[in-house]
Amino acid sequence: MLTDETTKNFIKYFQLSYANTPELMAQVHKIRYDVFCSELGLEKGCPKDVEADEFDSHSYHYLLQHRPSQKYAGTIRIVLPPSDHPELITPIEKYCLDAVDQNIINISQLPRGSFAEVSRLAVPADFRKRAGEAGKPYIVGSTPKNTSEQNGRSNFPHIAIGLYLAAASLFTLKDLKYIFVMVEPRLARSMRRIGLHFEQMGDVIEYHGKRAPFYITPELLNEHLSPEVNNLYEHIKGEVRKGLSENHNPSSLAS
């Protein structure tokens, strides 16, 4: 459960950064390498300290920095194919489209630039060292006894929540109609408990584990955010807004 104290601790211990320089993108790729290649073994053949793919070129990337240590505590990307490049797609379109029930949402019929996909959420192991979290790429929904222990480092329970709220902030600031994600159904249920009300739109398949396609709309987001969650969301949205500009060009940073 998020509280007003959660928002205070988040602001005290963490800083959201838009990865808008080559140096910050190197941190994004390093975290993803450490989690997805070295730790979890989900991606093979990655160059040293670099986990990257074709979708990075049309994505927004965010980092969460732990203020006391200055280390990066997590990253997330929002894949947003631009309307003027129909050849650019999302991971769900390339790998998981057969799992999507077209009677719920027919992605192929949606205007390009009206939807995005959240993916590559990664939290380094040093920030997940709590009971039951070994080998998991994110944390959602659990609360330790002391959230201030170790300067909020390994005991802060809402790193992934902050990153998902960054994605939700970009979603609303860009006036998108849908945002998609491939997650385990139990993670979707956890996100519902904090007000991110994702709806399932297809079957569970084997995709880096048992995952299903989910979506959220602006209406679902606005309807279910509690006042406590909304406080944190508004803070994070302010940070996301600072990083946006009309001339943003993700492809210039992806390499």
Inform me whether the pLDDT recorded for 246 exceeds 80. no
User: Is residue 194 domain-resident?
Assistant: yes
Cβ 201 vs Cβ 101: under 8 Å: yes
Q: For residue 70, what are the domain limits?
A: 4-244
User: Is residue 251 domain-resident?
Assistant: no
At 151, is the pLDDT very low, low, confident or very high (cuts 50, 70, 90)? Answer: low
For the stretch 33-64, pLDDT in tens is: 999 999 888 888 889 999 999 999 999 999 99
User: Is residue 63 domain-resident?
Assistant: yes
User: Is residue 197 domain-resident?
Assistant: yes
For the stretch 194-245, pLDDT in tens is: 888 999 999 999 998 899 999 999 999 999 988 888 989 999 999 999 988 7
Give CB contacts under 8 A, 24+ apart, made by 196-200: 196/164, 196/165, 196/168, 196/221, 196/224, 197/221, 197/223, 197/224
User: Is residue 255 domain-resident?
Assistant: no
For the stretch 25-35, pLDDT in tens is: 999 999 999 99
Query: In sequence order, which residues have a C-beta less than 8 Å from that of residue 115 and are 6 or more positions away?
Result: 90, 107, 176, 177, 178, 179, 180
User: Is residue 250 domain-resident?
Assistant: no
Rounded Cα distance between 71 and 125, Å, is 12
**Per DSSP, what are the bridge partners of residue 62?**
18, 76
Side chain identity at residue 89, one-letter code: I
Inform me whether the pLDDT recorded for 20 exceeds 50. yes
Domain count for the chain, please give it.
Answer: 1
**pTM value?**
0.88
Rounded Cα distance between 214 and 224, Å, is 16
CATH number, domain containing residue 180: 3.40.630.30
Side chain identity at residue 219, one-letter code: E
User: Is residue 214 domain-resident?
Assistant: yes
Q: Which of 82, 42, 92 is nearest to 59 (CA)?
A: 82
At 252, is the pLDDT very low, low, confident or very high (cuts 50, 70, 90)? Answer: very low
Rounded Cα distance between 255 and 252, Å, is 7
User: Is residue 132 domain-resident?
Assistant: yes
> For residue 38, what are its two tokens?
């070295």
